[in-house]
Amino acid sequence: MSSKFEYTRAIVCGIPSSLPAQAQRLEEPGEGVDLLKARKQHAEYVSTLKKLGLEVTEMTPDENCPDCVFVEDTAVCVDNSALIPILGHQSRRPEASRMKDTLEGLGFNVIEMQDPAILDGGDVLFTGREFFVGVSTRSNMEGVAELAKAFPEYPVNSIKVVEHLHLKSMMTMGGPDVIFVGASKVASDAWNELESKAKFKYQKLVLPEDHAANCLYLNGTLVHLAPHEIPESISVYRKLPGPKIELENSELHKVDGCLTCNSILLC
């Protein structure tokens, strides 16, 4: 993560064949994951990162880790420091050790989380000036405290997450000091808590669909979901100024994957 949302590198991981049958999810999707389509969408995602000027480290998928494509959960990186969490779902914890090795190989100062803390990176919203951390089924207050210890130069605030898997399932940064938020009651409640705890002021942009509020803002470009995946929200995006890129994520969305889940962005 960067305080200026300007990045030079990213880490991604390929999609294992074990994902459709074994990935952890909130509930069973109405339709199964099309693995070939998922890989095609992911390849376009990686290509987009490269087009935006990022040098991409591509980790080999691990068939023993069905969710390994969702690398965001496995580390919180700011500048040259990285916190390696204990992931909230026990089956995913081997993913963190793989990410630790990758980040050490890239020269990061790695800090490892301690029990009884648990944390998924998808619960961590960094505004460039402070952290908001979702307390969810995957992240606890001990995890919030460990993150605060790892990055003492930034304020850290906890936000209650209900119904959604992660905090960033319903809100992300859409620009400097701009937070995109879903329109549901649970997203609105989370925003109200965020606003009451924030040390700085942020502009709120509401998207009719919660999952539409998950986007990537990097190097001056807004990357968001394709129109057919956010039919109620696409008009909001199209009214925004500046360069934008539309990406499909329909297959990984079936296993609770959002756009931010698929990469770790690095300065």
Give the whole-angstrom CA distance, residue 213 versus residue 154. Answer: 24
The answer to whether position 66 is within a domain reads: yes
Q: Are strands 221-225 and 244-247 parallel, antiparallel or unpaired?
A: parallel
Question: What pLDDT is recorded for position 32?
Answer: 86
- pLDDT of 20 reads 82
Instruction: Assess whether 261 carries a catalytic annotation.
Output: yes
Domain of 77, in residue numbers: 9-266
- Whether residue 16 is contained in a domain is answered as yes
Does some domain include residue 135?
A: yes
| Predicted pLDDT of residue 113 | 96
The reported pLDDT for the residue numbered 83 is 98
Place of tokens 């995913």: 92
**Cβ atoms < 10 Å from Cβ of 122:** 27
What's the Cα-to-Cα distance from 251 to each of 138, 140, 195, 209, rounded to whole Å?
22, 28, 33, 17
Q: What letter would DSSP give residue 8? A: S
Q: Is residue 96 part of a domain?
A: yes
The pLDDT value recorded for residue 21 is 77
Q: Which amino acid is at 125?
A: L
Q: Which helix (H) or strand (E) holds 222?
A: strand 221-225
**Count of other CB atoms within 10 angstroms of residue 235:** 11
CB of 260 within 8 A of CB of 122?
yes
Question: CA 86 to CA 143: how far, in whole Å?
Answer: 8
* Residues 34, 110: Cα–Cα separation, whole Å: 36
- Residue 58 resides in a domain: yes
**Separation in Å, CA 162 to CA 73, 167, 186, 212:** 18, 9, 7, 17
Helix H segments across 11-140?
19-22, 35-51, 93-105
Total structural domains in the chain? 1
Known catalytic residue: 166?
A: yes
Retrieve residue 63's tokens.
């068939």
- Of 65, 68, 77, 261, the active-site residue reads 261
What pTM does this model have?
Answer: 0.95
| Low-confidence stretches of the chain (pLDDT beneath 70) | 2-3, 23-30
> In 3-state terms, what secondary structure has residue 87?
coil
- pLDDT attached to residue 212: 98
190 and 237 Cβ atoms separated by less than 8 Å: no
Report if residue 233 sits inside a domain: yes
What CATH number does residue 24 fall under?
Answer: 3.75.10.10
Whether residue 148 lies inside any domain: the answer is yes
Specify if 194 maps to a domain.
Answer: yes
Exactly one of 42, 164, 166, 253 is catalytic; name it.
Answer: 166
Please confirm whether the linkage preceding 116 is cis (ω < 30° from 0).
yes
Which pLDDT belongs to residue 240? Answer: 97
DSSP letter string, 224-248: EE-GGGSTTTHHHHHTS-S-EEEE-
